[in-house]
Structure 1
Amino acid sequence: MDSTESEQHSERIFTSQATTTAVDTTLDMNHTTININREFHNEETSTYWLPKDEDEQQRLTGQHFAFKELFEGNISSSVRQTLDFEKGISVLDVGCGSGVWIMDMVNDYPNCTYHGCDIADATNKILKVDQFTYSHGNVATGLPYEDNTFDFVHM
């Protein structure tokens, strides 16, 4: 295939995908929009445009472990030296996504209490441990917690 044919082929693929996208049906429900065979939240005040479906939860889980490896742990050594995670503190995970960071932290620091807040409700469905509570919320419009509720906030 020469470069002209390659460009035409790429253009056909792009046009085909764009056409498919344009004719897909969108279904709106409470806090959910399904479009292009992916599930998205339906919060008008949010700028978060990634899906909230199982594929996205798996991507977020992989991203967590990549960041954990890159940063050599879930929390920095300076934070560990400052706060007594072993004794137990109150931790908020804003935008908790799949909940994998909290699950990892519960294993490392079971004496802490963990609170997760996210615009998508995926975490609430999968994370069932005594140390965890979940709240549906949008950080852009304010979170459902009083000031100074938490010792540590993870974002």
Structure 2
Amino acid sequence: MGVQQSKKMTPKNHHHKQKSFASESELKHLHLITSELNNVKDLDIKYNSETIDRIVSQQYLLKHIWKGNFSSPIRDLLESGSVNALEIKCGPGTWILDMATEFSRCSFTGIDLIPIFPSEIRPKNTKFFLANKPEYLPFPPSTFSYIHINFIEHMHNEHSFCQNDIINDIINIMKCDAWLEITTWNLEFENERVGHITQKLISAMKTCFENYTSLSETISSLPSNCDQLKNTNILTNNIPVGKWGGIIGELVMQDLLITFKQHGNKICKKLEITPKQYDSYLEEFVKEIEENQTVFKTCRFYGQKI
């Protein structure tokens, strides 16, 4: 994979030139999985089906880019059946359902602000809770042996779960020696060759998200700002965009174009352009992505409670 690792701390201004992505054959089942989830009738869907499709696809994209659902050294614990895991911001429960099926002797709990997770049709070793207050985690101290969080910046703009003051609350509900793992998909470029229109559109889109912060920066600061974690590590990987990146790149491009469409009015206002000009920008964006083989960054942090 060429994943870059560092013990304790990774410099914020580091660059990675690897272009090692999951094979296309591994990802052909993505569309099938998405279709299967949409056939589940027991979802209290507040989002439309397109949004659900995107969240599910994003989860499996991350899984294949990272060659797995987790990177922290917990496989032996999972296989022993001794893990009580929590996913914060679980969405439709894609990660939990996948993990619960693979590790059927472990327990998996999901919590989110929006109830798009399954309430009845689910494995017996899973639970889901609605978080009425994003700053509050309704669990007793020392409950979980593993906590997992996936953040995708251009998909969600509620960053309350990742503010520094919530980290202490997360650690409080972790058992001694429990693991915390956070994965982000950032609107940050990994390669230096980026087109002018691409830069303008991404910068404008960031302004559409309230209180936008770089989650990679938040992750980078965790080892130095949190004295309650040991054995910390930060990994980085690449997410290709466009046809040049194969199936992954095409899916990411589709996702970005949907996001640009959803925020079109705000972006036009920010850039002071007309909708017709915006359409031209998007056409140029696609061309630039292919010419420059643009890559976004995904980061993964894990650490163990002292």
TM-score, length basis structure 2: 0.32
Higher relative contact order (CA 8 A, sep 6+): 2
Closer/same/farther in 2, CA of residues 99 and 127 from structure 1, 3 Å limit: farther
Structure with greater Cα Rg: 1
**1:106 pairs with 96, 100, 117, which one?**
100
| Structure 1 position 135 matched with structure 2 position 126 | no
Q: How many residues were matched structurally?
A: 104
Alignment of 1:58-137 (within 5 A): 58-76=53-71, 78-80=73-75, 84-88=77-81, 89-125=83-119, 127-137=121-131
**Is the 8 Å Cα contact of residues 90 and 112 (structure 1) preserved in structure 2?**
yes
**What SS class does the counterpart of residue 96 from structure 2 fall into?**
helix
Tell me which residue corresponds to 1:48.
Answer: none
**2:146 pairs with 130, 135, 152, which one?**
152
TM-score, length basis structure 1: 0.60
Q: Distance between the aligned counterparts of 1:71 and 1:127, measured in 2?
A: 28
Closer/same/farther in 2, CA of residues 71 and 126 from structure 1, 3 Å limit: farther
* Greater CA drift, 69-78 or 113-122: 69-78
Closer/same/farther in 2, CA of residues 77 and 141 from structure 1, 3 Å limit: closer
**Seq. identity, %:** 26
* Greater CA drift, 94-103 or 130-139: 130-139
Q: Distance between the aligned counterparts of 1:65 and 1:126, measured in 2?
A: 23
**What SS class does the counterpart of residue 86 from structure 1 fall into?**
helix
Closer/same/farther in 2, CA of residues 139 and 74 from structure 1, 3 Å limit: farther
Question: Cα offset for 1:77?
Answer: 5.3
RMSD: 2.0
Listed as ranges, the gaps of 5+ residues in structure 1 are 1-38, 41-51
Moved over 3 A (4+): 124-127
Tell me which residue corresponds to 1:5.
Answer: none
**Is the 8 Å Cα contact of residues 88 and 147 (structure 2) preserved in structure 1?**
yes
**Is the 8 Å Cα contact of residues 106 and 131 (structure 1) preserved in structure 2?**
yes
Question: Cα offset for 1:53?
Answer: 3.0
Question: Cα offset for 1:57?
Answer: 1.5
Closer/same/farther in 2, CA of residues 76 and 127 from structure 1, 3 Å limit: farther
Question: Cα offset for 1:126?
Answer: 6.6
**What SS class does the counterpart of residue 85 from structure 2 fall into?**
strand
Q: Distance between the aligned counterparts of 1:131 and 1:145, measured in 2?
A: 17
**What SS class does the counterpart of residue 60 from structure 2 fall into?**
helix
Listed as ranges, the gaps of 5+ residues in structure 2 are 1-44, 150-306
